[in-house]
């Protein structure tokens, strides 16, 4: 129970969990679409998934997300520049708050996350080393066996079908974040029952006219990846098999227009009979 302003007891309702895409694109920031960065917020818990150029929205219209937050957890899926560029901007947001930064480490790469990131972000590319960039930062390897943030279970899964290994993240039953990957059958178990599946969607499949049966899913998924990314139909099938509430396509191809991205989601949702939409920068999703 908490006290309200009248001195009367009020019921302490559980905080709503909300996911705000700050950068829903991949590769190149384009008008209306920054590169990979997503903010998960529940009460005083703020988790940033990836640090692409979208993080700049935290000094613009989404600065409210940082209100009252003293400690932020950051999780980096992999080291491609469209996912880490925003680390360069950290001094704008973290002058008086702590950042726990997790990134793939020795289990997936030959070096620790700290070694990889400090090697990338150092003079002469930056005025000083990443560790000295903001007053309070701790860089850690992602514990692949899982961890808890403020009592919420966080699970991880290595995805090996991108150019370099990437890490999928599951936050309680709120969401699963699977970016920069071809469709992997194991994602079904990993994302089972989440409210929102955020999944890489780079291109449109030639969608078969007949309905896809569960028995066909594994074969179809194998055909629905290209250059380390996934098709719209693959995302819909994964969402259907994992019984998620809503599938949300992410990491949009900058060469596709919003209309094309929307059509990809609508087409695949119709074939697989799932609720499916596409992430838009700044458009929050309850999860
Ligand atoms: Zn990417
Ligand atoms: Zn990538």
What confidence tens digit (pLDDT) does each residue in 117-176 have? 999 999 999 999 998 989 999 999 999 999 999 999 999 999 999 999 999 999 999 999
Q: Is the pLDDT of residue 225 over 80?
A: no
How many angstroms separate the alpha carbon of residue 33 from the centre of ligand 2? 17
Which-ligand-closest: CA of 54? 1
How many angstroms separate the alpha carbon of residue 180 from the centre of ligand 2? 5
| Strand pairing report for 137-141 and 98-103 | parallel
Which-ligand-closest: CA of 28? 1
How many angstroms separate the alpha carbon of residue 165 from the centre of ligand 2? 9
Q: Is the pLDDT of residue 66 over 80?
A: yes
Query: Has residue 277 been placed in a domain?
Result: yes
Of all residues in the chain, what percent carry a pLDDT higher than 90?
A: 82
- Are 276 and 249 spatial neighbours (Cβ–Cβ below 8 Å)? yes
Q: State the average pLDDT over residues 228-241.
A: 93
Query: Has residue 6 been placed in a domain?
Result: no
Query: Has residue 2 been placed in a domain?
Result: no
In the chain, the number of structural domains is 1
CATH code assigned at 85: 3.60.15.10
How many angstroms separate the alpha carbon of residue 84 from the centre of ligand 2? 10
How many angstroms separate the alpha carbon of residue 254 from the centre of ligand 2? 14
How many angstroms separate the alpha carbon of residue 158 from the centre of ligand 2? 13
Write phi, then psi, for 227 (nearest 5 degrees).
Answer: 50, 40
Query: Has residue 201 been placed in a domain?
Result: yes
Whole-number Cα distances in Å, 99 to 69, 80, 94, 164, 202: 11, 20, 7, 25, 31
Does 124 sit behind a cis peptide bond, omega within 30 degrees of 0 on the bond before it? yes
Query: Has residue 76 been placed in a domain?
Result: yes
Regarding pTM above 0.85, the answer is: yes
Residues 6+ apart with CB under 8 A from 41: 17, 18, 19, 20, 47, 65
Domain that holds residue 65: 11-286
Model pLDDT, residue 181: 97
Which-ligand-closest: CA of 165? 2
**Per-residue pLDDT tens digits for 92-107:** 988 889 999 999 999 8
How many angstroms separate the alpha carbon of residue 2 from the centre of ligand 2? 45
Whole-angstrom distance, CA of residue 171 vs CA of residue 116: 25
Query: Has residue 259 been placed in a domain?
Result: yes
């Amino acid at each position: 129970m908490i006290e309200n302003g009248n001195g009367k007891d009020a019921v302490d309702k559980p905080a709503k969990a909300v996911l705000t895409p700050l950068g829903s694109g991949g590769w190149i920031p384009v008008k209306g679409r920054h590169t990979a960065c997503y903010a998960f917020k529940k009460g005083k818990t703020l988790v940033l998934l990836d640090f692409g150029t979208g993080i700049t929205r935290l000094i613009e219209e989404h600065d409210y997300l940082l209100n009252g937050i003293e400690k932020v957890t950051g999780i980096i899926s992999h080291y491609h520049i469209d996912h880490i560029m925003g680390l360069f901007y950290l001094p704008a947001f973290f002058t008086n708050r702590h950042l726990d930064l997790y990134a793939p480490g020795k289990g997936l790469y030959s070096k620790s996350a700290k070694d990889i990131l400090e090697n990338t972000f150092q003079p002469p590319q930056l005025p000083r080393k990443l560790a000295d960039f903001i007053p309070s930062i701790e860089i850690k390897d992602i514990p692949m066996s899982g961890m808890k943030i403020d009592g919420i279970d966080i699970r991880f899964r290595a995805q090996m079908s991108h150019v370099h290994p990437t890490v999928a993240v599951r936050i309680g039953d709120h969401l699963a974040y699977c970016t920069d990957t071809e469709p992997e059958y194991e994602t079904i178990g990993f994302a089972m029952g989440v409210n929102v599946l955020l999944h890489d969607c780079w291109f449109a499949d030639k969608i078969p006219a007949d309905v896809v049966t569960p028995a066909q899913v594994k074969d179809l998924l194998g055909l629905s990846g290209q250059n380390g990314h996934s098709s719209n139909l693959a995302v819909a099938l994964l969402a259907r098999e994992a019984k998620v509430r809503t599938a949300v396509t992410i990491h949009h191809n900058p060469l596709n227009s919003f209309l094309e991205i929307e059509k990809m989601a609508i087409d695949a949702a119709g074939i697989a009979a799932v609720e499916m939409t596409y992430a838009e920068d700044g458009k929050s999703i309850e999860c």
